[in-house]
């Protein structure tokens, strides 16, 4: 089932996913791992076709897209490894104990898939957060059929990728409905309200995500909505750091906030800097080395243009470098922009400065002392990341700062920049509202947890238990038995 076949027909896609749900849920971790490997291999084999097609629609460049496709197939294989490891199912067994007070029954618990899920592709990563991206990979790994809502920014790539994924799954033995792809804004709204859809994964704008979030909450049977909605990713720079490494930090900041024309969800959008240390001049001096580029869509280009213009026209921020009108709405090309404000401006009216400007713009906010730094941090919203650039001599003074930043982010970065998200077992890509609607990660091994729910069987006969919970452990899964972790055991003993 390709994008064309199901365009604007979410009911058909959801019903097909529901028909496939039992098969996928009852498949073994090994079987699901084989499906993921099949998709990864098919995408790698199609790289020569997919990468130029992606570049035509996104202008992200073949070098960037080559790396992103490799990341995408790497994600699929990572989740196959997660399944092979088996701990993601959290199989836990407690034998009956009539002598306990109160008497304890036989209890066996594991995580099971939620059922069909809807996934919304993002514009800025046409492979890694799109049709076969992390949400799709983790949901299929969990045993959930996926109905994918393609992004309008790369429709031809989405359709071709969906066809490759569907064919690979079919060839590997998955039933029809395991994966399908839709297009159209109305299709997305209808999809999240369909009774067969049991959860939603979303990466995109705050307004669009909040609208869908509200729809899922208003259902007669509300379902989980795992949305990534926007993040300003604040950075703290200390006075000692500027004195010791100012030019290098400035160059790193420029490289980070202009990377991909500033269209990374982890772009540092606001940087708290020491007043009078000369850091603004260092960043402005480094800015000419950064190139602009075409933005992904007309809507993104318009939003960036209007957001920056409003900050400057209203006097909310001063323009240090670039121009408030440096967005060509004919070509969607944007040039880097550097803005500045004082902590007093931020504290007095936080919302304008804390609104995400998705594009190559950054706001430097000057603080004079520790009290002003604390006041600035106090008004920061939740973000995917926070970063600190400091020296060893600063460590004793930063415990309170780090504690406050931890309340506001899911990943804390030390002397580095948040752009770029390694796909590993330990990675976390999520944060407090409004960065995400739930604290779970969408990148890394534990992204699979979003698509599970726990089920406990009490005193059930062995023959009716799922294989993962049976006495002889036919799947050879690691299990926690009587509170003790047993790796790859074949019995309860």
Q: Which residue matches tokens 């060839």?
A: 171
- DSSP letter (8 states) at residue 337: E
> Of all residues in the chain, what percent are helix, strand and coil, respectively (each to 5)?
45, 20, 35
What number of CA atoms fall less than 13 Å from residue 486's CA on the CB side?
18
Q: Is 391 a catalytic residue?
A: no
- DSSP letter (8 states) at residue 175: P
Provide DSSP, 225-253: EEEE------EEE-HHHHHHHHHHHHHHH
- Residue 77's H or E segment, with its range, is helix 62-85
Question: What are the strands, taking DSSP E only, across 76-193?
Answer: 92-94, 107-113, 117-120, 146-149, 179-182
Q: Is 88 a catalytic residue?
A: no
Beta strands 293-294 and 333-334 are antiparallel
Alpha carbon distance 50, 296 (integer Å) = 17
Spatial neighbors of 258 by CB under 8 A, at least 6 apart, are 290, 291, 292, 336, 360
Cα–chain center distance at 296: 18
Which one from 57, 228, 356, 372 is the annotated catalytic residue?
Answer: 228
Alpha carbon distance 290, 257 (integer Å) = 10
155-171 helix and 47-58 helix, angle to the nearest 10 degrees: 150
Q: Which residue matches tokens 């948040």?
A: 418
Which one from 144, 181, 265, 362 is the annotated catalytic residue?
Answer: 265
CA distances from 370 to 151, 235, 396 (A): 44, 15, 13
206-218 helix and 185-192 helix, angle to the nearest 10 degrees: 30
Reading phi first (left if > 0) and then psi (alpha if -120 to 50, else beta), residue 133 is in beta
For 423, the token pair is: 């796909």
Spatial neighbors of 485 by CB under 8 A, at least 6 apart, are 478, 479
For 396, the token pair is: 């004793």
φ, ψ for residue 107 (rounded to 5)? -125, 130
Q: Which of 124, 34, 116 is nearest to 79 (CA)?
A: 34
Where in the sequence numbering do the catalytic residues fall?
A: 228, 265
């Amino acid at each position: 089932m390709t994008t064309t076949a199901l365009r604007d027909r979410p009911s058909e896609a959801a019903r097909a996913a529901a028909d496939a749900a039992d098969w996928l849920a009852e498949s073994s971790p090994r079987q699901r791992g084989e499906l993921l490997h099949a998709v990864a291999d098919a995408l790698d084999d199609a790289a020569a076709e997919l990468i130029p097609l992606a570049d035509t629609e996104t202008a992200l460049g073949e070098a960037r897209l080559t790396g992103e496709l490799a990341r995408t197939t790497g994600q699929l294989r990572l989740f196959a490894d997660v399944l092979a490891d088996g701990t993601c199912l959290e199989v836990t067994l407690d034998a009956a104990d009539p002598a306990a007070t109160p008497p304890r029954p036989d209890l066996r618990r594991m995580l099971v898939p939620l059922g069909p899920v809807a996934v919304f592709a993002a514009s800025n990563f046409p492979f890694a957060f799109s049709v076969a991206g992390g949400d799709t990979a983790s949901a299929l790994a969990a045993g959930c059929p996926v109905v994918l809502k393609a992004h309008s920014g790369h429709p031809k790539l989405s359709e071709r990728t969906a066809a490759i994924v569907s064919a690979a799954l079919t060839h590997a033995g998955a039933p029809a409905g395991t994966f399908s792809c839709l297009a159209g804004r109305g299709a997305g709204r209808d999809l999240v309200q369909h009774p067969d859809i049991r959860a939603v994964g979303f990466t995109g704008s705050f307004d669009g995500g909040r609208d869908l979030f509200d729809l899922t909450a208003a259902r007669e049977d509300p379902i989980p909505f795992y949305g990534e909605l926007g993040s300003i990713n604040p950075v703290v720079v200390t006075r000692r750091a500027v004195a010791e490494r100012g030019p290098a930090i400035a160059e790193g900041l420029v490289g980070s906030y202009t990377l991909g024309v500033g269209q990374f969800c982890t772009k540092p959008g606001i940087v708290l800097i020491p007043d009078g240390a000369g850091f603004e001049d260092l960043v402005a001096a480094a800015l000419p080395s950064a190139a602009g580029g075409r933005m992904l869509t007309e809507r993104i280009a318009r939003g960036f243009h209007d957001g920056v213009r409003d900050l400057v026209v209203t006097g909310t921020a001063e323009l240090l470098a670039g121009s408030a009108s440096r967005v060509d709405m004919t070509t969607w090309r944007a040039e880097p922009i550097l803005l500045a404000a004082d902590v007093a401006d931020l504290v007095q009216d936080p919302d304008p400065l804390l609104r995400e400007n998705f594009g190559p713009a950054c706001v430097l906010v000057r603080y004079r002392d520790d009290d002003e730094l604390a006041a600035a941090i106090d008004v920061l919203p939740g973000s995917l990341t926070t970063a600190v650039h400091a020296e060893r001599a600063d460590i004793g003074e930063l415990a309170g700062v780090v504690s406050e930043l931890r309340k506001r982010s899911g990943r804390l970065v030390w002397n580095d920049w948040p752009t770029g998200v390694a796909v590993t077992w330990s990675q976390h890509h999520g944060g407090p509202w409004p960065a995400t609607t739930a604290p779970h990660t969408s990148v890394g091994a534990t992204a699979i947890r979003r698509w599970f729910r726990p089920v406990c069987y009490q005193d059930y006969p062995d023959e009716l238990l799922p294989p993962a919970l049976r006495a002889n452990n036919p799947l050879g899964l690691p299990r926690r038995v009587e509170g003790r972790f047993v790796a790859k055991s074949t019995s309860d003993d």
